[in-house]
Amino acid sequence: MSVLAAHERARRQRILHSVARHSVLIGVGVVFVSPFVFVIFTALMTRDQALTRAIWPSPFRFQNFYDVLDQQPLLRWTWNTFLISSLSSIGVVLSCTPPAYALARMRFRGRNAVFLLVLSTMMLPIQVTIIPLYVLFSHLGWIGSLKPLIIPGFFGDAFSIFLLRQFFMTIPNALTDAARVDGASELRLMLRVVVPLAKPALVAVFLFNFLYCWNDLFAPLLYLGANPDSYTISLGLSEFRSSRHVDYELMMAACVLFTLPVTVLFFLAQRAFVEGVTVTGVKG
């Protein structure tokens, strides 16, 4: 009898604990999720309703998404953003793999010094370089074009080199040593042995850079600010309101359209993201 009662008590306590944990998690979860909900609801309101404190849209006005595409050159901005993000990310993957390979798997004197130099450049505030770069790009006639945002990607990126190097280090030496004895060149080792094994890291580097470019405001503001034709989404939306009047329903609709692709990307590639973040975070 008493054994059963004790059992029952323990069970009840377990359930109570579980309910308490879920309540806390849901409570905090509401804080994270409610902005999404409010923004999406507002994106679906009529203009009159968006000017009230109403939360639930009535009627639902899906027309807003069409209107905002109509009023702002959002598709053009999206194309520019996509072009910059994909091309410069391809550049980063191509240009960072060989240096990362050299730092991880080739033996030469001064390797650690070079690696430290790469690391230390990550700490440098970009403000120290942007002014001469602006002068340089304007001499080249690149200001207002997408070039200043794409081409530097093809010349290495410290963070990406770091991430790839960390990953390459985890590939067992035995795998490359065997091929090296057979007379394979370093280039062959990199392309045939290391790169195929490092696909997750390469995907992570591509995604990080893609996302960074997709989201970035600062560089587009500097180099594209003078030419509305080459605006990115971030830059275009940052000027959404330049008068006293603001159409919140359209602004929120634009935000939803802007956020949707990266959120979908996140769900598709969640594992690569999280692994990438933690590899750099813990080993940093």
| Binding residues among 191-250 for other proteins as defined by CB under 8 A | 211, 214-215, 217-218, 221-222, 225, 233-234, 237-244, 246, 248
CA proximity to 133, closest of 8, 223, 244: 223
Q: Which of the ranges 7-15, 59-67, 150-158, 199-207 carries the binding residues for other proteins, by CB under 8 A?
A: 150-158
The conformation of residue 53, written as its DSSP 8-state character, comes to S
Residues 6+ positions from 90 with CB-CB distance below 8 Å: 153, 206
Mapping DSSP to helix (H, G, I), strand (E, B) and coil, where does residue 142 land?
coil
Other beta carbons within 10 angstroms of residue 30's beta carbon come to 10
The conformation of residue 167, written as its DSSP 8-state character, comes to H
Contacting residue, 9, 16, 38, 79, with other proteins by CB under 8 A: 38
Based on the shown chain and the rule CB under 8 A, indicate whether residue 21 belongs to the binding site for other proteins. yes
Q: Are 115 and 106 in contact (CB under 8 A)?
A: no
Nearer to other proteins, 3 or 171 (CB): 171
Based on the shown chain and the rule CB under 8 A, indicate whether residue 16 belongs to the binding site for other proteins. no
Cα–Cα distance, 139 to 133 (Å, whole number)? 10
Length of the chain: 284
Q: Which token pair is 175?
A: 């795998």
Number of residues that bind other proteins (CB under 8 A): 97
Nearer to other proteins, 197 or 221 (CB): 221
Tokens 């609709």, residue located: 253
Contacting residue, 6, 16, 28, 175, with other proteins by CB under 8 A: 28
CA proximity to 176, closest of 109, 111, 105, 108: 105
Q: Which of residues 255-274 bind other proteins (CB under 8 A)?
A: 255, 258-259, 262-263, 266, 270, 274
Q: How far is the CB of 6 from other proteins (least distance, A)?
A: 22
Based on the shown chain and the rule CB under 8 A, indicate whether residue 53 belongs to the binding site for other proteins. yes
Mapping DSSP to helix (H, G, I), strand (E, B) and coil, where does residue 61 land?
coil
Query: 97-136 mask for other proteins (x: CB under 8 A)?
Result: -xx-xxx--xxxx-x--x--xx--x-xxxxxxxxxxxxxx
Nearer to other proteins, 4 or 209 (CB): 209
Based on the shown chain and the rule CB under 8 A, indicate whether residue 186 belongs to the binding site for other proteins. yes
Nearer to other proteins, 53 or 178 (CB): 53
Nearer to other proteins, 2 or 123 (CB): 123
Q: What is the 3-state secondary structure (H, E, C) of 63-108?
A: HHHHHHHHHCCHHHHHHHHHHHHHHHHHHHHHHHHHHHHHHHHCCC
Nearer to other proteins, 5 or 274 (CB): 274
The conformation of residue 151, written as its DSSP 8-state character, comes to G
Torsion angle, CA of 91/94/98/101, rounded to 10 degrees?
Answer: 110
Q: Which of residues 54-83 bind other proteins (CB under 8 A)?
A: 55
Q: Is 179 exposed, middle or buried (0-12, 13-18, 19+ CB in 10 A)?
A: middle
Based on the shown chain and the rule CB under 8 A, indicate whether residue 278 belongs to the binding site for other proteins. yes
Nearer to other proteins, 3 or 123 (CB): 123
Q: Which of the ranges 36-44, 70-78, 175-183, 193-201 carries the binding residues for other proteins, by CB under 8 A?
A: 36-44
Contacting residue, 6, 51, 75, 169, with other proteins by CB under 8 A: 51
